[in-house]
Chain A
C-alpha cells in the first residue's frame, strides 16, 4: 500500500508553471528524498502534499484519503521548516504542545506525548528554555519534536539542515536517520544537498524544472542514472561527460569512438536505437578512472591540478591539445603529481552511454 500517492499534480503561480505533472507513489514507512537544484519546485511539491499550497490540478492521496483540497491539518502530515519556525514566546514544551493544546487534547495525553518526543530527541533538560536560549541544532530538534508529538502519518522536512554548520549537519543527519528507524513513519525530505539525499534516502526522487527526472534507491541512481541530468547531479565530483560517436552498431553490439580517444566496444540492451555515425555522450565517474603511465592507457592526459582530501586525491586532467578536462578521484597512494604526463584508462563496465536525447542506454550486465 502506498502511503502518499501523487497523481498528475501540477502547480502554476499566475501564468508560470512550476510543477509540470508529477506522478509519485511513496510506500508506508519509506524515507523518500526530493532532491534537485534550487528553484526546481521541491518545496512547492512538499507544500502541496502538506496542504499549505493549493494544487492546480491532479490528486494527492495520503493513506487512501484524497487530501487534495483538504485544509493542511487534516492531511495527517507534520512539517519541519528550514527556519525551524519555533514560536519565540513559548518554551520548548509549550512549542511542542501548542497544537495539541489548541485542539483541546487532554492534559495527560499532552504530557505523555511531549515526554515521549523529548525522550526520543534528548530534549528533557531543555523543556523550559525559550528558543532564543537554544543552539541551532537544539532548535532543529525542537522543531522535529513538535512534529513527533502530532503522531503524523507523514513527516515532511524542507531543507531542515541547511541553516546548520557543516559538522552539526552531519550529526543531525544521523539523528534523523535514527529517528526514522525508531518511529518508522513515512518521511519525505527535501534537500538540494546530494550527500544528504544519498545518505538518508530509501528512495530518491530527482526533480528538475518541475518534473521528476528519476526515482530510485541511491545506489540505483548512482549506478544507473536514467539521463544526463541525474548523471551530472548525483556524485561528487560529478560524472565526466565525454563527446563520442557511434562507430558501428550491430544488434546489441555497439562500438563507440571517444573523441581524442580509443574505440570502445559494449553491449547495449535491445532498442537502443543508435546507428553508426550518431553522436553520443559517454559518462564516466571520476572514481572509475585509472591513471597509467603514458603509452599504456587509452588516452594521453596531463595532470593540471591535484587536490588532496586526505584519504583521496582529486586530479584535474587535460587531454593534450584539446580544451577537454577530466576529473579523476584516486587513491591516496596513487602518488599523482602536477605536471605528470600519463594516460587514462577506462573501466569499461562502468561507462555510461547517453543518446542525443539525453537518455541513458541500458548496458547489458555481461558486456565487457
Chain B
C-alpha cells in the first residue's frame, strides 16, 4: 500500500497491538453512527426505556413507514434531486471547460485567472450572502429552487476547474496535436479525446459535487420559505419539531437523507479518495 507497509512492525508483535488499537478506535468512531442506525429500527418506547444499544429483536420498520407516509419527505427528496442533479452537471461542465483551457490552451495571464478562480474555493459563503439575497429577490426567484441551482453551479466552479485542470495536465499534449493534425476541432478533442480519458476525474467530481450540494444547508435556509420548496437537509431540521420525541423516526430520517450520498460514495470510493487528495495536495 505505501512506503512503510509490509516490512515495518512485521513479526515483532506490534502488528497485533496496532490492529487492536485501530479496532477500538474504529468502534468508538462508529458508535454515533451505529446509535443512529439502531435507533431507526426501534420504537420510541424502547429507546426511552434505555434499550438503544441492544440489537433489535425483530425487524422494526415502522419508523421508515412513518416517514415515507409523510408527503413532505417525498417533496423534500424530489426538491433536493431537482437541485443536486442539474447543479452537479452544470458545475462539472463549467469546470471541464475552464480546466481544459487552463491546461491545454494557456495564454498570458491564464495562470493568474486560474489562481483567482480556484481561491474562490476557500471563502466562506457568508461573504456573498447578502448581495445574492438581493439579486434573487430582484429576480423574483426567492422561494424557488433556482437560487440553489445557480449558486451551486457557480460555487462548484473552483473545485471542478482545479481538478479538471490538474487531470487534463496529465493528458499528453501529443494527443491533442495528433487530433489537430487530423482536422479534429478543439470541441471534438475535448469531448471525444480528453473527456473519455478523464472518466476517473469526472467520477470524483460527480461524487464530490453531488455530496456537497445534497448536504447543503445554508442556501436553502436563506432562499426557501414555504414547505414545498425545502430540500431534505432543511426538511430534516423542520421535521425535528414534528417528531421531537420520536427519536427513532428522526434516526430513520437521517438515514434516508444520507443514503443517496453514501451510495454514490461507496460506488466511487476508490476514485474519490485518490482524486480528492490529488486535488488537495497538488494545490
Contact = CB atoms under 8 A, between A and B. Distances in A.
Instruction: Indicate if A touches B (C-beta under 8 A).
Output: yes
Interface of A: 50-52, 71-74, 77-79, 81, 83, 85, 87-89, 98-100, 102-103, 146, 150
B196 interface: yes
Contacts of B61: none
B180 A72 contact: yes
Interface string B176-217: 011111111100100011001100000000000000000000
B105 interface: no
Interface residues of B, number: 17
A89 B171 CA distance: 12
B179 A99 contact: yes
B179 A98 contact: yes
Given A73-B182, A99-B183, A103-B183, A85 B192 contact: no
A334 to B, nearest CB: 48
Contacts of B183: 73-74, 99, 102-103
B181 A52 contact: yes
A102 B191 CA distance: 11
A77 B183 CA distance: 10
Contact of B172 (A73, A79, A85): A85
Task: Please provide the 9 A-B residue pairs with the shortest distance between their CB atoms, ordered closest to farther.
Answer: A99-B182, A73-B183, A85-B174, A85-B178, A89-B196, A102-B184, A81-B174, A72-B180, A72-B181
Contact of B182 (A51, A83, A88, A150): A150
Given A98-B184, A102-B183, A102-B188, 18 more contacts: A51-B181, A52-B177, A72-B177, A73-B180, A73-B182, A74-B183, A83-B172, A83-B174, A85-B172, A87-B175, A87-B193, A87-B197, A98-B179, A102-B179, A102-B182, A102-B184, A102-B192, A103-B184
5 contacts: A74-B183, A81-B174, A99-B179, A99-B183, A102-B182
A363 to B, nearest CB: 45
A119 B253 CA distance: 64
A73 B181 contact: yes
B184 A78 contact: no
Nearest to A95: B178
A89 B179 CA distance: 14
B54 to A, nearest CB: 52
A81 B172 CA distance: 11
Contacts of B178: 79, 81, 85, 146
Of residues B172, B178, B188, B193, which shows the largest number of chain A Cβ atoms within 10 Å of its Cβ?
Answer: B178
A266 B179 CA distance: 57
B175 A85 contact: yes
Interface of B: 172, 174-175, 177-185, 188, 192-193, 196-197
A103 B183 CA distance: 7
A98 to B, nearest CB: 7
A50 B182 CA distance: 11
A52 B178 CA distance: 9
B166 to A, nearest CB: 18
A146 B177 CA distance: 13
A85 B177 contact: yes
A78 B196 CA distance: 24
A79 B175 contact: no
Given A52-B177, A83-B172, A88 B184 contact: no
Given A83-B174, A98-B192, A88 B181 contact: no
Given A85-B175, A87-B175, A89-B196, A52 B182 contact: no
Of residues B174, B179, B193, which shows the largest number of chain A Cβ atoms within 10 Å of its Cβ?
Answer: B174
Contact of B180 (A52, A103, A150): A52
A94 to B, nearest CB: 10
Contacts of A87: 175, 179, 193, 197
Contacts of B182: 73, 78, 98-100, 102-103, 146, 150
Contacts of A74: 183
A74 B179 CA distance: 13
Nearest to A152: B181
A365 B277 CA distance: 72
A74 B181 CA distance: 8
A85 B184 CA distance: 14
Contacts of A71: 180
Of residues B174, B181, B188, B193, which shows the largest number of chain A Cβ atoms within 10 Å of its Cβ?
Answer: B181
Contacts of B196: 89
A146 B182 CA distance: 9
A72 B180 CA distance: 6
A52 B183 CA distance: 12
Contacts of B177: 52, 72, 79, 81, 85
A71 B192 CA distance: 20
A73 B186 CA distance: 12
A73 B184 CA distance: 8
A52 B180 CA distance: 8
Contacts of A88: 197
Contact of A78 (B172, B174, B175, B181): B181
B116 to A, nearest CB: 24
Contacts of A52: 177, 180-181
A50 B180 CA distance: 10
